[in-house]
C-alpha cells in the first residue's frame, strides 16, 4: 500500500466512528440491513447502480452541502464506494466548498470560468483533506483534527515565497492555534498548496540548490516525500512576520506534489501591539474578508 493511500485511509477513518443500525454493502451480492434481510441486489453487475450511482450520490451529498465527514464515512463503506468517492465525490466537494480557490489552482481564467472536471496535481482526495484537516505537529505532540472553518489566502502565500519565486501562486491557511502543555506560547499549524508546482520557480530553486528531501517527514495529505524549506534556506522573513512568530521558531515543508504544511510558535502580543495591528489598513486586513477574490474560504 502506498503512503498516499494509507494517509488518505487514515483521513477517511478519522470521521467514521458511530453507532446505530448498521447497513452493510456486500459487494457483488447485494445490500443487507443489520438483521440480515436483503434490501436490494446488484448480483453479477459491474455497473454502479442504486446508491452506488454517481449521480444519485452527488444529489445526496449536495443536499447536505457536501459535508466532508459524511463523504469520509461513505468512502469507508466498501471498495466500490471508495472508488466512487475518489473518482467523483472529493472533486465535487472541493469545487462546491472552495470554487474560486479550486478554479485558480486549476488554472481557470480570472473571469470565473468553471473548474475542470479532470485531475489536479496531488489528487482530489489530498486536496479535500488539505482543505478540511489540520495536520497538527508531530514534534510537540499536537494531533491532527478536522477544522470547523479555514481561510486560505494568496496574500498569505506570497509571504512564504522568496523574491525570485514571487511569480508562483501559493494558497496558505491562517494558523490553527493549539495550546501545548508546558509551553509558554501557543503553537500554530498551517497548510497550503501551490498551483502548477512542477513548473514553479520554487521547485526550480529547490532543484537548482540540490536540496535534499527530508528522510523523516512525509506529506500528511498525499504521503509523498518533502523538502524542508528551512534546511533549504528558502524561508523569507516575511513568513515570520505574517504568522506573528519569533524568528527561528518556524518550520515548514513542501512536498513533491506541491502541498505545504508547517508549524510555528506564535508570539504573544502585548495590548499596545494588538491595538496597533487592529488599526492598520494593511493588505493582511483586507485579505481576511471571506468575499475577497484573493481568498478561498471553506467551512464545515
In angstroms, how far is the first alpha carbon of the chain from the final one? 30
Percent with pLDDT over 90 in the chain: 51
List pLDDT tens digits, range 59-80. Answer: 999 999 999 999 999 999 999 9
* Predicted structure pTM score: 0.74
Quick one: average pLDDT of 259-274? 73
- Mean pLDDT (the chain, rounded): 77
Cα-based distances in Å from 30 to 26, 27, 79, 240: 5, 6, 14, 56
Least confident residue range of 70-84, 107-121, 213-227: 107-121
pLDDT-based confidence at residue 116 (cuts at 50, 70, 90): low
Q: What is the pLDDT of residue 7?
A: 52
Q: What is the pLDDT of residue 50?
A: 59
pLDDT-based confidence at residue 243 (cuts at 50, 70, 90): confident
pLDDT of 159 over the 50 cut = yes
pLDDT of 107 over the 80 cut = no
pLDDT of 296 over the 80 cut = no
Q: Is the dihedral of CA 104, 153, 132, 134 positive or negative?
A: positive
Q: What is the pLDDT of residue 180?
A: 87
pLDDT-based confidence at residue 27 (cuts at 50, 70, 90): very low
Quick one: average pLDDT of 221-242? 93
Cα–Cα distance, 94 to 98 (Å, whole number) = 6
Identify the DSSP state of 147. -
pLDDT of 275 over the 60 cut = no
| Strand spans (E) along 22-104 | 24-26, 30-32, 38-40
CB 251 within 8 A of CB 166: no
Cα–Cα distance, 121 to 289 (Å, whole number) = 27
In this structure, the chain runs to a length of 300
Identify the DSSP state of 10. H
pLDDT of 300 over the 70 cut = no
Q: What is the pLDDT of residue 130?
A: 95
Least confident residue range of 3-7, 81-85, 157-161, 224-228: 3-7
Q: What is the pLDDT of residue 256?
A: 97
Amino acid at each position: 500500500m502506498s503512503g498516499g493511500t494509507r494517509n488518505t485511509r487514515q483521513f477517511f477513518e478519522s470521521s467514521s466512528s458511530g453507532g446505530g443500525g448498521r447497513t452493510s454493502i456486500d459487494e457483488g451480492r447485494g445490500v443487507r440491513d443489520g438483521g440480515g434481510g436483503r434490501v436490494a441486489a446488484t448480483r453479477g453487475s459491474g455497473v454502479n447502480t442504486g446508491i452506488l450511482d454517481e449521480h444519485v450520490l452527488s444529489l445526496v451529498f449536495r443536499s447536505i452541502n457536501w459535508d466532508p465527514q459524511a463523504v469520509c464515512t461513505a468512502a469507508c463503506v466498501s471498495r466500490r464506494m471508495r472508488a466512487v468517492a475518489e473518482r467523483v465525490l472529493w472533486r465535487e466537494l472541493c469545487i462546491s466548498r472552495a470554487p474560486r480557490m479550486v478554479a485558480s489552482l486549476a488554472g481557470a481564467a480570472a473571469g470565473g470560468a468553471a473548474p475542470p472536471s479532470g485531475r489536479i496535481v496531488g489528487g482530489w482526495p489530498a486536496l479535500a483533506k488539505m482543505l478540511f484537516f489540520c495536520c497538527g505537529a508531530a514534534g510537540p505532540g499536537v494531533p491532527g483534527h478536522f477544522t470547523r472553518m479555514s481561510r486560505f489566502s494568496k496574500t498569505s502565500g506570497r509571504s512564504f515565497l522568496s523574491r525570485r519565486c514571487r511569480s508562483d501562486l501559493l494558497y496558505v491557511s491562517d494558523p490553527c492555534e493549539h495550546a501545548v502543555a508546558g509551553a509558554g506560547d501557543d503553537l500554530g499549524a498551517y497548510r497550503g498548496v501551490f498551483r502548477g508546482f512542477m513548473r514553479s520557480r520554487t521547485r526550480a530553486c529547490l532543484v537548482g540548490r540540490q536540496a535534499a528531501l527530508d528522510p523523516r517527514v512525509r506529506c500528511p495529505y498525499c504521503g509523498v516525500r518533502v523538502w524542508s524549506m528551512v534546511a533549504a534556506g528558502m524561508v523569507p522573513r516575511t513568513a515570520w512576520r505574517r504568522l506573528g512568530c519569533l524568528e527561528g521558531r518556524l518550520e515548514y515543508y513542501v512536498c513533491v506534489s506541491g502541498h505545504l504544511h508547517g508549524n510555528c510558535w506564535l508570539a504573544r502580543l502585548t495590548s499596545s501591539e494588538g491595538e496597533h495591528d487592529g488599526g492598520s489598513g494593511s493588505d493582511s486586513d483586507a485579505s481576511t474578508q471571506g468575499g475577497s477574490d484573493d481568498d478561498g474560504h471553506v467551512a464545515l
